[in-house]
């Protein structure tokens, strides 16, 4: 007689905080919390991947060449045309490998959370390379530091400045402004609405404009003319004068004015609450309990917004270990937890990226600075499920595995009688694996 | 037919699956299906109405938009004495001549902040406040006892709270084998939410297979509208649908971006008309966006988030060929908060008017679908 037990902490830890266990993994339940904490390290990116400066310079050169060739009615050669997508795929390949094969994945889940919190979309050649570069350059190194440091690094990264049109936003009374270059409030609004205070965080339209003015001149170096790439403060485009934000006066001049505002916003109670609720919603439940959020906010307050301390509070909270599976996996979580279980010998990066697209969560393609949604209502739809079924059928058919062993790894004793019997009695090994991946227990975590 | 019997049968031959699509399983409506179609297109990202229905005689317009207005004023297609249409909207223009296109200017939903996401949620709820669990189209199909279709991976807020709505979206993956579906139906017996979505997904798939609609799997707007029309014009097809099109958040380079976007919208709507065939005569298409954009262009040849926008109505049932809406003017003192087009009429009230005239909803029904939104006394629908 098999036992039915949903309280196995190893299963909860691996699925709720990471991308699940790999075929053959054997994690002792009493080690689960320690094991999770060991995983809280900065995700490592392959040192072979080209630097952001290098990629931006290559794209700038290719753009110039393209313009020259166009005058002679010629086209850029296909290698140069493909360059942005190929660099993007190189990043994805590296990341997919870590997600599928690494022992620890909690740090990759946290990276994905913040990459989505600071969502940028690959909408042109430059953004295809900058979107993954943002994760490597700005998010990963600050992932377990303070939110303040993370926020500053992200906002100053060319990916964010270009995506939200700040690189050419110049104050009306600045030198550049008086020559007809203007301002826009896109980045400032999203900082307030999405990145820090949240839409109900108590700011006004005036605050949006004041922040927008304070970050005028926050721009990106021209890799050809200025012989460098990355953040460049353009004093000539900065709106002169003191500013007011949320009732406080900022008398700084130049770049430090915007920095001071971002620091205030990062430390604001509304930001703390917004981020803690969002983290709890991502890891634990669509409607996280107030106790859990309070415990996380307390850790934030004690540590000055140290993300690692907030994550430790999350891991230590009793609220995080309830047996009920309260989250429906996003397509991203579903695909990578499936592949960790299946352990494919090789990964076809392009095909996998295309599968994620079909499932509704193409990497770096959220199409909005709000990023992808994060609740069951957003992901469990008729068509979404049908697409998931098709993908699971393909994946299970491609990598034939012993489904009852996989079920033991993935669910241990938490499989219901019905799921257990359906998997064991499936008509083929491929179908058994398909049913395991699509079972309610595997689709929820 | 009950589910367990279906599963038994399906073991023998699922290809002979007798279960009809979700919308034909509904209890038969009190009123006979009149076949009157209602389609809502939501433009996510805030369409700049001033760059679409151009106020060609408002002298302030050119002053507010030195970079982006000039070319447009030359090329826009004349509608009424005071308004002209963006030249990319060629099909809509020909419908205007045929009195099947009716733009309404200076419309607002009542949402008065400037967040896309909240603004869209507010619009989809149709309640005057944000509610993520109840949408206006869901309440409309519940009230009218008709069936709804969201061309989307998952149910958008507008269709939440109705058992009578389903979703459809193209997929490029190979079809899963029928016996896997049968096994999944059994596997989900104790998981109601998964089971419900699977049953709907299967029903829709069956309907598409029956109608022979093959999808190339590339989800551009034109293909989505085409498939939507095919599904709606099938026998017992849904009579209400929602389509979405993003890409309207033009903070920079607006003129070029809107050329592309409006072309896509125009061609998509033409494909919808073509695939609806003769049903077009009984169709109302409503195009909305969450809010408008700033009247003044910004420093990057674009516009920022604003308030008032426009509503576009089209279809064989529409009494068109005119521009509606009271124009608030574009002088500095006429602008909302000194920056935006001031709304002079309410989105939800226009919807209420359409639901009353096209679907014959009573005052009582309207109060449940769009609470607090009185209909306007103006004929939008032919003979409505």
- Cβ atoms B294, B303 nearer than 8 A: yes
Of B115, B116, B187, the CB nearest to A418: B187
List chain A residues with pLDDT less than 70.
Answer: 1, 400
- What are the beta bridge partners of residue A93? none
- Cβ atoms A42, A138 nearer than 8 A: no
- Number of Cβ within a 10 Å radius of residue A405: 12
DSSP letter, residue B157: G
Min Cα distance A169 → chain B (Å) is: 7
Of A355, A383, A394, the CB nearest to B169: A383
Q: Do A368 and B246 touch (CB under 8 A)?
A: yes
What is the rounded CA–CA span in Å between residue B229 and residue B276?
A: 5
Hey, which residues 49-108 in chain B have their CB within 8 Å of chain A? none
Hey, which residues 176-215 in chain B have their CB within 8 Å of chain A? 176-177, 179-181, 183-184, 186-191, 193-194, 197-198, 200-202, 204-205
Hey, which residues 251-270 in chain A have their CB within 8 Å of chain B? none
- Cβ atoms A382, B197 nearer than 8 A: yes
Q: Do B173 and A394 touch (CB under 8 A)?
A: yes
Name residues whose C-beta falls within 8 Å of residue A59's C-beta, 6 or more positions apart in sequence: A83, A84, A125, A126, A129
Of B155, B187, B251, the CB nearest to A439: B187
What is the rounded CA–CA span in Å between residue A440 and residue A252?
A: 56
List chain B residues with pLDDT less than 50.
Answer: 1-33, 214-218
What is the rounded CA–CA span in Å between residue B192 and residue B305?
A: 41
Q: Do B177 and A393 touch (CB under 8 A)?
A: yes
DSSP letter, residue B283: E
- What are the beta bridge partners of residue B244? B42
Min Cα distance B60 → chain A (Å) is: 20
First CA to last CA across chain B, in angstroms?
Answer: 39
Of B116, B176, B251, the CB nearest to A390: B176
pTM, entire model? 0.79
Shortest CA distance to A246 belongs to which of A202, A293, A305, A187? Answer: A202
What is the rounded CA–CA span in Å between residue B19 and residue B40?
A: 29
- Could you tell me how many CB contacts below 8 A there are between chain A and chain B? 155
Min Cα distance A184 → chain B (Å) is: 6
CB of A186 within 8 Å of any CB in chain B?
yes
- Please count the residues of chain B: 384
CA dist list (Å): A276 to A144, A272, A302, A445: 14, 6, 14, 20
Name residues whose C-beta falls within 8 Å of residue A27's C-beta, 6 or more positions apart in sequence: A10, A13, A14, A21, A35
| pLDDT for the residue numbered A243 | 98
Q: Which residues of A touch B186 (CB under 8 A)?
A: 418, 422
Here the tokens at position B356 are: 């009353």
What is the rounded CA–CA span in Å between residue A44 and residue A48?
A: 12
- What are the beta bridge partners of residue B202? none
Q: Residue B207 class from Cβ within 10 Å (0-12 exposed, 13-18 middle, 19+ buried)?
A: buried
- Number of Cβ within a 10 Å radius of residue B8: 11
What is the rounded CA–CA span in Å between residue B259 and residue B269?
A: 16
Min Cα distance B198 → chain A (Å) is: 6
Assigned CATH for B37-171+218-369:
3.40.720.10
- Number of Cβ within a 10 Å radius of residue A249: 9
Q: Do B116 and A368 touch (CB under 8 A)?
A: yes
Dihedral pair phi/psi, residue A243, rounded to 5°: -130, 160
Q: Look-up: residue for tokens 């699922």?
A: B14
- Cβ atoms A203, A191 nearer than 8 A: no
pLDDT per position as a tens digit, A391-423: 998 888 777 688 889 999 999 989 999 999 999
Q: Are β-strands B148-151 and B83-85 bridged in parallel, bridged antiparallel, or unpaired?
A: unpaired
- What are the beta bridge partners of residue B77? B85
Q: Do A389 and B184 touch (CB under 8 A)?
A: yes
Name residues whose C-beta falls within 8 Å of residue A434's C-beta, 6 or more positions apart in sequence: A389, A392, A393, A396, A397, A426, B180
Q: Do A199 and B115 touch (CB under 8 A)?
A: yes
What is the rounded CA–CA span in Å between residue B302 and residue B75?
A: 19
Q: State the SS3 of chain A.
A: CCCCCCCCHHHHHHHHHCCCCCCCCCCCHHHHHHHHHHCCCCCCCCCCCCCHHHHHHHHHHHHHHHHHHHHCCCCCCHHHHHHHHHHHHHHHHHHHHHHHHCCCCHHHHHHHHHHHHCCCCCCCHHHHHHHHHHHHHHHHHHCCCEHHHHHHHHHHCHHHHHHCCCCCCCCCCCHHHHCCCCCCCHHHHHHHHHHCCCCCCCCCHHHHHHHHHHCCCEEECCCCCCCCCCEEECHHHCCCCCEEECCEEECCCCHHHHHHHHHHHHHCHHHHHHHHHHHHHHHCCCCCCHHHHHHHHHHHHHHCCEHHHHHHHHHHCHHHHCCCCCCECCHHHHHHHHHHHHCCCCCCHHHHHHHHHHCCCCCCCCCCCCCCCCCHHHHCCHHHHHHHHHHHHHHHHHCCCCHHHHHHHHHHHHCCHHHHHHHHCCCCHHHHHHHHHHCHHHHEC
CB of A89 within 8 Å of any CB in chain B?
no
| pLDDT for the residue numbered B246 | 85
Alpha-carbon Rg for chain B, nearest whole angstrom, is 22
Dihedral pair phi/psi, residue B286, rounded to 5°: -115, 130
Shortest CA distance to B69 belongs to which of B81, B79, B59, B82? Answer: B59
Domain range summary for chain A, segments of one domain joined by +: 9-35+327-443, 52-267
CB of B129 within 8 Å of any CB in chain A?
no
ipTM value greater than 0.90: no
Domain range summary for chain B, segments of one domain joined by +: 37-171+218-369, 174-214
Here the tokens at position B136 are: 């206006």
Shortest CA distance from A392: residue in chain B = B176
- Number of Cβ within a 10 Å radius of residue A71: 7
Helix (H) / strand (E) containing B285:
strand B283-289
Q: Look-up: residue for tokens 């699940």?
A: A20
Q: Do A431 and B179 touch (CB under 8 A)?
A: yes
Shortest CA distance to B254 belongs to which of B102, B104, B52, B76? Answer: B52
CB of A440 within 8 Å of any CB in chain B?
yes
Q: Look-up: residue for tokens 């969002």?
A: A278
The SS3 of residue B2 is coil
| pLDDT for the residue numbered A401 | 80
């Amino acid at each position: 007689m098999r036992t039915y037990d949903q309280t196995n902490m190893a299963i909860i830890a691996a699925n709720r905080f990471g991308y699940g266990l790999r075929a053959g993994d054997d994690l002792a339940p009493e080690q689960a919390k320690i094991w999770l904490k060991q995983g809280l390290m900065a995700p490592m990116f392959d040192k072979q991947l080209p630097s952001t400066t290098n990629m931006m310079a290559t794209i700038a050169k290719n753009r110039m060449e393209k313009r020259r060739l166009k005058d002679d009615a010629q086209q850029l050669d296909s290698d140069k045309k493909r360059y942005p997508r190929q660099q993007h795929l190189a990043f994805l390949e590296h990341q997919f490998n870590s997600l599928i094969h690494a022992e620890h994945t909690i740090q990759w889940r946290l990276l994905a959370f913040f990459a989505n919190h600071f969502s940028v979309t690959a909408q042109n050649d430059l953004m295809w390379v900058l979107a993954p570069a943002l994760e490597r350059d700005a998010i990963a190194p600050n992932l377990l530091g303070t939110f303040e440091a993370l926020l500053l690094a992200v906002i100053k990264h060319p990916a964010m400045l270009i995506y939200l049109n700040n690189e050419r936003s110049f104050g009306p009374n600045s030198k550049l402004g008086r020559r007809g270059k203007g301002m826009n409030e896109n980045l400032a609004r999203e900082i307030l609405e999405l990145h820090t205070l949240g839409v109900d965080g108590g700011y006004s339209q005036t605050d949006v404009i004041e922040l927008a003015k304070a970050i005028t001149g926050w721009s990106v170096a021209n890799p050809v003319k200025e012989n460098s790439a990355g953040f460049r403060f353009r004093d000539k485009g900065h709106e002169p004068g003191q500013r007011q934000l949320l009732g406080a006066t900022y008398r700084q001049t130049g770049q430090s004015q915007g920095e001071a505002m971002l620091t205030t916003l990062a430390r604001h109670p509304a930001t703390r609450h917004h981020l803690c609720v969002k983290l709890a919603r991502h890891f634990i439940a669509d409607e996280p309990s107030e106790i859990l959020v309070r415990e996380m906010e307390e850790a934030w307050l004690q540590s000055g917004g140290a993300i690692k301390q907030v994550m430790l509070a999350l891991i230590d909270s009793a609220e995080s270990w309830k047996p009920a599976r309260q989250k429906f996996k996003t397509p991203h979580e579903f695909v990578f937890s499936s592949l960790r279980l299946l352990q494919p010998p090789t990964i076809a990066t392009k095909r996998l990226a295309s599968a994620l697209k079909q499932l509704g969560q193409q990497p770096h393609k959220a199409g909005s600075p709000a990023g992808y949604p994060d609740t069951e209502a957003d992901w469990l739809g008729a068509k979404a499920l049908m697409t998931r079924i098709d993908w699971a059928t393909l994946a299970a058919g491609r990598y034939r595995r012993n489904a009852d062993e996989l079920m033991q790894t993935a669910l241990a004793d938490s499989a219901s009688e019905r799921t257990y019997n359906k998997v064991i009695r499936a008509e083929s090994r491929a179908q058994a694996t398909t049913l395991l991946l699509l079972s309610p227990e595997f689709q929820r975590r | 037919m009950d589910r367990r019997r279906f599963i038994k049968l399906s073991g023998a031959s699922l290809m002979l699956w007798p279960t009809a699509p979700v919308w034909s399983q509904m209890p038969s409506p009190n009123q006979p299906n009149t076949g009157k179609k209602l389609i809502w297109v939501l433009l996510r990202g805030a369409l700049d109405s001033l760059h679409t229905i151009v106020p060609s005689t408002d002298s302030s317009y050119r002053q507010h938009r030195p970079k982006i207005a000039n070319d447009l004023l030359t090329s826009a297609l004349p509608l009424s004495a005071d308004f002209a249409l963006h030249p990319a909207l060629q099909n809509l223009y020909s419908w205007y001549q045929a009195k099947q296109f009716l733009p309404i200017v200076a419309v607002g939903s009542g949402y008065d902040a400037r967040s896309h996401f909240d603004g869209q949620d507010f619009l989809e709820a149709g309640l005057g406040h944000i509610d993520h669990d109840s949408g206006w189209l869901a309440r409309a199909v519940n009230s009218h006892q008709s069936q709804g279709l969201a061309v989307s991976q998952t149910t958008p807020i507008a269709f939440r709270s109705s058992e009578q709505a389903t979703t459809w979206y193209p997929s490029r993956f190979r079809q899963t084998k029928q016996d896997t579906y049968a096994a999944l139906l059994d596997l989900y017996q104790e998981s109601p939410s998964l089971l419900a979505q699977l049953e709907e997904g299967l029903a829709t798939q069956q309907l598409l297979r029956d109608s022979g609609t093959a999808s190339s799997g590339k989800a551009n707007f034109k293909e989505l509208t085409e498939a939507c029309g095919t599904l709606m014009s099938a026998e017992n097809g849904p009579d209400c649908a929602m389509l979405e099109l993003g890409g309207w958040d033009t903070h920079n380079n607006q003129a070029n971006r809107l050329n592309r976007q409006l072309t896509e919208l125009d061609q998509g709507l033409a494909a919808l008309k073509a695939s609806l065939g003769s049903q077009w005569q009984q169709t109302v298409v409503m195009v909305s966006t969450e809010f408008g954009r700033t009247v003044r262009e910004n420093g990057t040849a674009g516009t920022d988030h604003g308030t008032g926008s426009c509503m576009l109505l089209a279809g064989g049932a529409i009494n068109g060929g005119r521009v509606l809406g009271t124009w608030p003017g574009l002088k500095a003192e006429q602008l909302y908060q000194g920056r935006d087009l001031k709304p002079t009429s309410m989105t939800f009230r226009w919807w209420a008017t359409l639901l009353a005239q096209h679907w014959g909803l009573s005052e009582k029904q309207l109060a449940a679908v769009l609470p607090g939104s009185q209909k306007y006394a103006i004929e939008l629908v032919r003979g409505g």
